[in-house]
Amino acid sequence: MAQAILKLITFDEFLEWKPETGHYELHEGAIVEMPNPTGKHSVVAGFQTIEFGF
């Protein structure tokens, strides 16, 4: 089986690429899609968003 070649990118390239929807992070040059928060995490994140004024 052949493996795909992973192209590492810079932070600036990530900022140019990042779509408006979805949750993505840059880990050591690789783009990683993150799942939507659920349960208590979602509640805490929502509270912090309001408190910090984001």
Write the pLDDT tens digit of every residue in 3-49: 777 889 999 999 999 898 988 999 999 999 998 878 898 899 889 99
pLDDT at 5: 76
User: In terms of Cα–Cα distance, which of 38, 40, 7 is closest to 23?
Assistant: 38
**Given this model, what pLDDT does residue 1 score?**
62
Residue-level pLDDT at 27: 96
